[in-house]
Structure 1
């Protein structure tokens, strides 16, 4: 804190999660998420009837059951791990760190308000998306801009839009994989599965696939993993249009059919374990692998609140707040 009692604070932002693993809770969350033009850019008059008349009524109960299968004692895995990250980063930085979600609770607006109440006139926004995408990182920027529209005095802002190639991030990923391998041995093959986006978005300039490729290349070098034993794919495909390829499920099936017996999968685009890693990868994709002839399937955990991840976040924050007191 400097002499005029002003200081900087950090707003950690992730996608969000339902408040409860119920059809109602999931419907509320998906409604807000899928209304975002950054996520689905269809004309509203065409998209909204489909969303409210077909997608939400059908998907909400199904997705709620999936959430129930991974729900933790203290809530959604994404929320539990995000709160642990917030606490750990607060302890190590000794400055206010608040949590905000692009969709759902706690909102980014409430996070900004809590920082203001703690005397922060400077705010570093850290979206927890290592690889930039308009569907995620830019959506955070939009949300922050909207939150500030009704505020008379806007704090000085800095915004981190990616860290896909940060040495500490790559090192943390490698350390997580090596920890698993120290216990279980190295796999026949390592697959990096990233959340997908429509191919059209990338064709229109979204650098996300380049960032994903960059992370994978750097990780392969740090792990000294031959590229014939490691590749990347895209998961969580939604809708009928073409998304970035190759698709994770098809890749996993093909690997098993081609003789890979032990497959490890890690999800570098996710800063915390969530439905997409704990259920889609660890359950659904494991089943695909085994049914196609695979023998052993392991999900390498996300970075979560590991010490290496918190150290990376600490160094990233310190890098971006230089000149602030």
Structure 2
């Protein structure tokens, strides 16, 4: 069976002009704003109008006008290509590269199984589910029916934890623990989503 690997992520704006696209697509996502689409459009427009200039300013000041995510993802793909004998692409949720061009390619090449690798260690309806549903919807639009396999959450995988810890230690450069404060941060979710059964909070706490 011919396979392809797709790395799933929400994406990061490639430039300042894509900031608005990112925000509009994010707030149009039913898994981000779980209300009817008319109300979601209204709320999304209000949020974008209110926050756009501030987000653009912060994006320019703190990230230099470009998200590091696209470059980091490309580097990861190049490393994976040395280990895996299959096509490997990224599919971002809110800014390019979107899924459709790669799916059109895989369909024409006769790829029978798509292995979806969420770049989110913890599962959430707002991230993993949103990205997987996007792939399924784009496949349906193309009348493309490959087998779809989704990699399980890996927040508690010992190799993932060890690698994360090693990266932290490398960044610290051998400094004594008294010389720094280590702050671990995670995205927050509305309590309504957590109360509806989203496992993200518990999985964050677990590792």
Structure 1 length normalisation: TM-score? 0.59
Q: Provide the C-alpha distance between the structure 1 equivalents of 2:90 and 2:34, rounded to a whole number of angstroms.
A: 27
1:120 aligned counterpart, secondary structure: coil
Residue 196 (structure 2) pairs with residue 201 (structure 1): no
Cα separation, partners in 2 of 1:17 and 1:181, compared to 1, 3 Å: closer
What does residue range 174-253 of structure 1 map to in structure 2 within 5 Å?
174-187=165-178, 189-215=181-207
Cα separation, partners in 2 of 1:161 and 1:111, compared to 1, 3 Å: farther
Corresponding residue for 2:19? Answer: 26
Give the drift of 1:201.
Answer: 1.1
Give the drift of 1:122.
Answer: 1.4
Q: Is the 8 A contact 2:107 2:144 kept in 1?
A: no
1:190 aligned counterpart, secondary structure: coil
Q: Provide the C-alpha distance between the structure 1 equivalents of 2:143 and 2:35, rounded to a whole number of angstroms.
A: 34
Corresponding residue for 2:28? Answer: 35
Which of 72, 75, 86 is equivalent to 1:81? 72
* Deviation readout 1:114-136 (Å, 9 max, x if unpaired): 33444422110011000001110
Q: Provide the C-alpha distance between the structure 2 equivalents of 1:119 and 1:153, rounded to a whole number of angstroms.
A: 10
Residue 18 (structure 2) pairs with residue 49 (structure 1): no
Residue 7 (structure 2) pairs with residue 7 (structure 1): no
What does residue range 259-270 of structure 1 map to in structure 2 within 5 Å?
none
Give the drift of 1:104.
Answer: 1.6
Corresponding residue for 1:129? Answer: 120
Per chain length, whose mean CA-contact separation is higher, i.e. which structure has more relative contact order (CA < 8 Å, sep 6+)? Answer: 2
* Deviation readout 1:223-264 (Å, 9 max, x if unpaired): xxxxxxxxxxxxxxxxxxxxxxxxxxxxxxxxxxxxxxxxxx
2:3 aligned counterpart, secondary structure: strand
Q: Across the two proteins, how many residue pairs are aligned to each other?
A: 206
* Deviation readout 1:151-208 (Å, 9 max, x if unpaired): 3341111012411111111111111111123343325543321111011211111111
Cα separation, partners in 2 of 1:46 and 1:147, compared to 1, 3 Å: closer
Q: CA RMSD in A?
A: 2.1
1:111 aligned counterpart, secondary structure: helix
Structure 2 length normalisation: TM-score? 0.89
Give the drift of 1:93.
Answer: 1.4
Q: Is the 8 A contact 2:6 2:91 kept in 1?
A: yes
Q: Provide the C-alpha distance between the structure 1 equivalents of 2:169 and 2:177, rounded to a whole number of angstroms.
A: 8
1:94 aligned counterpart, secondary structure: coil
- Which has the larger Rg? 1
What does residue range 288-307 of structure 1 map to in structure 2 within 5 Å?
none
Q: Provide the C-alpha distance between the structure 2 equivalents of 1:131 and 1:95, rounded to a whole number of angstroms.
A: 25
